Amino acid sequence: MTPASRRRNAAPPREDVLAAAMATIADHGLDGLTMAGLGREVGMSSGHLLYYFRTKDELLLQTLEWSEGRLGERRSALLSGPGTVRERLDAFLGLYLPDGHGDPHWTLWLEVYNRSRDAGVDARARQAAVEAAWHRDLVALLTEGAAHGELRPVAVEAYATRLRALLDGFSVQVAAGIPGAGRDRALALVREFLEETLAAAPEGSVPRG
C-alpha cells in the first residue's frame, strides 16, 4: 500500500513520519518541507500532523532527535568496536563532520539551532541533551586513551568542549558550502590539531597536561 492510499484517519508510525521529513530535507532542502507536502507523503492531512506535532518547530526538533538517535547507534558501535583509541577517535570525527554541502542532518541541526532563540525551555533542554551525548562519548574516549597511554593526559571536560567547538566551526562551514571549506580539509586540520595536542609523550618523559 502506498503512503497516499493509507487511510487518513490511520496515522502512520511516528518513525515513518520523521523518516519522511528527513528524506524530504535531503531531497528538497528545508524549503521543501511543508506540513501539507509531508502529509501527502505519509497519507495524513496537515491538520492531522499538527495534531501530533503542534508546530513545525516541534516537528523539526523531533526529526532531529530521531536522526541523532540513529547517529548515536552508529557512534556507539564505532566507539565500542575494535581498534585503537586513536582509530576510534578518528571514526568519531568522521561521524561528527557533515558529508558535504547541504548535508541533511546538519541542515536540520542548523535550522533547529537558529530557531532556539524563540524556543521554550523544554526545547532548549532537548537540544542540550543531543549535544551532551556527543560530549559524554568524547570524554569517555579521551579518558580511555589517556589511561592506556595512547593519548597525552588532558583536562578531558575542557578539552572535549574545545574540540567540539572546533568541529562545530568547521561543520558549519562545510554544511554551508563555504568555498575552500570542504570535509577533507576539515578532517585534515582537526587531525593536525589532535596530533599537536594529544600525541602521547615519549616513554619516560613528563606528560604535559
Task: Please report the pLDDT score of residue 10 as a whole number.
Answer: 60
Amino acid identity at 203: E
Amino acid identity at 137: D
Backbone phi, then psi, for 151, in 5-degree steps? -125, 150
Task: Please report the pLDDT score of residue 22 as a whole number.
Answer: 94
Q: What is the pLDDT along the chain (209 residues), one digit of tens a residue?
A: 454 444 444 668 889 999 999 999 999 988 999 999 999 999 998 888 888 898 899 999 999 999 999 999 999 998 888 899 999 999 999 999 999 999 999 999 999 988 887 778 888 899 999 999 999 999 999 999 999 999 999 999 999 999 999 999 999 999 999 999 999 999 999 999 999 999 865 554 444 43
Q: What is the rounded CA–CA span in Å between residue 99 and residue 97? A: 7
Instruction: Please give the biggest Cα pair distance in the chain.
Output: 71
Angle at the Cα of 146 (from 141 to 149), degrees rounded to 5?
Answer: 125
Nine-digit cell at 1?
Answer: 500500500
pTM of the model: 0.85
Q: How many CA atoms lie within 13 A of 24 on its CB side?
A: 22
DSSP secondary structure of 125-173: HHHHHHHHHHHHHHHHHHHHHHHTTSB----HHHHHHHHHHHHHHHHHH
